[in-house]
Amino acid sequence: MLKFIWNSWWRNKERFILLLVGVLIVSTGLSYLVGLTESNKGTVVSELEKRWKSSYHIVVRPPGTRSVTEELNLLEPNYMSGLQGGITLEQYEQIKQIDDIEVAAPIAMIGSYDYFKDVGEFKLDRPVVYRVKFTEKTDTGARVESDEYSTYFLGRWQPTDADPGYGLSPTMPGDKFTAGFGSNFMIAGIDPEAEAALVGLDAAMIEKEDISQYFEQTGQTKVENGIIQMPVIMSTKTFVDSTMEFELEEVQLPFDSTDTREIASKVRDAGGQAYLDTLDGKALDQIEEISSLQVHKALIDTFLKDGKLDFSNGDQAFNFLAFRPSALNYQTVKSPFEERWPFAYQVKPYEVPEDSIYPFKQMYRPLSLYSETSDGWPKVKLNYIGVFDPEKLDMARDPLTDLPMETYFPAKADWVIDANDEPVNPVKQMKPVNNDRGFLTRPPLVLTTLEAAAAIIGDEPISAIRVNVSEVDELNEASEARLQAVAKEIEEKTGLITDITLGSSPQMALTYLPGLREGEALGWVQQPWVRLGSSFTIFEETKMGMGGVIASVILVAVLCVFTSNVIMLYARKKEFAVLLSLGWGPRQLSRLLLIEALLLGGVVALIAWSILGAFLLAGDTATTGFVSP
């Protein structure tokens, strides 16, 4: 039979050559396209696997904490700083008990706190009105913002009533004013063991003999006489670049008097502080400008030297904790350059009530108080036990996969377009401000324990839980299914909401900052928001796209072969008729055609394997005996 087939092909050389040409075209084209497709697929998957690592796999939050931006799977880079609890310790324990969870690290954003360091003093020992001028300058990256305000003192004055209409403060004991400069920062609670497993916080501690310690080496939080005494550790990085300058002036009153009661009465009758603001002053003294970086470094050095820090107010053994965290209010707006930045938002400023204790009229984050009156504010005493360096943390730093780690680093932002919609050249990197009600906040400067957070906040202290799932090492269907299964189990057992953050990527978005004062709009800020699940989406699209190409190529090849066989069948009608007349049966003809097809198929397979082998060698790609879908 084989000899007969060869003789038949040899007698019809022209037809045989055309048949070989068709086989070569089909096999070469099919193999090249399949090889190229698989090579491209491998490249895409390889790049995705390099970029899909992150500091945590799933973030768990309380219900109702999703903002308008998450309708498009966009997670704002500032989201964690605005969460106010909502997860109980019982729910946290339920999550920890899930089998596939490797690490569950909670974070409890507690609230804003202030510390001040004495930087100098002024003598206020004469019966005159003194003006102490404060000038704070903050480098926001885009520009240097300056805030100026004044406080008035009447030397040797002891008022008989507390009428605020005086606009004057009595002098402190010793006839002096002590100038202090410090920071307004966030306190956050963590689980020390879980945080050590997540980012290696214990290994980031600054070690110095027995002075700087981690939470494991300290006592528990104590509540005595209504004062919550809690262990805390402080970051060595402040991230804020601001300065403060103090000036002392004698107000030039339009009348002469050394009677403090008479001076106070006349000032009150003339309008109090508003009246004093209109009068000139005579310079008396000045304290050299000092920066927030200098103050913070001095505090760290003091602690590492003496092993203690105390920022209590005067003779009190505690400070009040008034402000809770609050979130930014985003509104969707039209992007000025939609081709480059398809997503754009505007931050709506919060109007501060006139009777508020806050001195500003507007701020980017709403005021959220523990209580409307100071009687309901928690009393806290921070016991400093150690300092840590966030640069030593074991966490993902790739800017292409960087998740917001607001516990340790501020969110990134660049000023790219000014208020007149003109591009900023060069682009300027933004810095956090020395105020937790601003747009770009710094990370919590001080960390404490969940126990302390529960003592302050109550039954639902945890703001979010960052989860790592075990055996999720490769970008494939198994990893995706495992993450989705864990996320679903968390939601079913706790009623909380989850987002899979592993495989996310940054999505540049614009945010418009209208400014907090008239005529001070900043313009547009570019930030790398978190595009949830982008790697998995690309992976699925790649599989579907490559599979479609292969299927279409195979279909074309089948149609080509089928058409060629039909044409060859008609061309060999006379040959088949002669064979039938010589006694051949239909079964023998079928066998003849099958053997011919197998021979041609073998040639096609040989060529295809050779080409695909070249792709595998050139791409240094591993393969198996099975065809992946």
What are the C-alpha distances in Å from 305 to residues 218, 238, 291, 292?
19, 19, 21, 20
Residue 555 has what pLDDT?
61
| Residue entry with tokens 């899979």 | 500
Q: Which segments of the chain have a pLDDT < 50?
A: 48-49, 52, 314-315, 545-546, 620-629
DSSP-derived pairing of the beta strands 222-224 and 227-235: antiparallel
**How many CB atoms within 10 Å of residue 4?**
11
Domain ranges of the chain: 2-49+538-619, 58-532
518: Cβ–Cβ under 8 A, 6 or more apart, which residues?
none
Q: At residue 383, what are phi and psi to the nearest 5 degrees?
A: -100, 105
DSSP 205: B
Question: Distance between CA atoms of 501 and 58, rounded to whole angstroms?
Answer: 5
Q: pTM (2 decimals)?
A: 0.77
Residue 536 has what pLDDT?
54
Burial 221-253 (b: 16+ CB within 10 A, else e): beeeeeebbbbbbbbbbbbbbbbbbbbbbbbee
Residue 437 has what pLDDT?
83
Question: Distance between CA atoms of 75 and 403, rounded to whole angstroms?
Answer: 10
Burial 48-62 (b: 16+ CB within 10 A, else e): bbebbebbbbbbbbb
Closest CA to 561 of 86, 24, 57, 113: 24
Structure tokens that stand for 349 in this block:
């400023």
| Residue entry with tokens 């595009």 | 531
Question: Distance between CA atoms of 285 and 153, rounded to whole angstroms?
Answer: 15
Residue 18 has what pLDDT?
62
DSSP-derived pairing of the beta strands 423-429 and 414-417: antiparallel
Peptide bond connecting 426 to the previous residue in cis, omega within 30 degrees of 0: yes
Residue 623 has what pLDDT?
44
Would you say how long the chain is, in residues?
629
The amino acid that residue 415 corresponds to is W
Please name the helix (run of DSSP H) or strand (run of DSSP E) that holds residue 576, with its range, or none: helix 573-581
Give yes or no for a contact between 446 and 232, defined as CB atoms under 8 angstroms apart.
yes
The amino acid that residue 507 corresponds to is Q
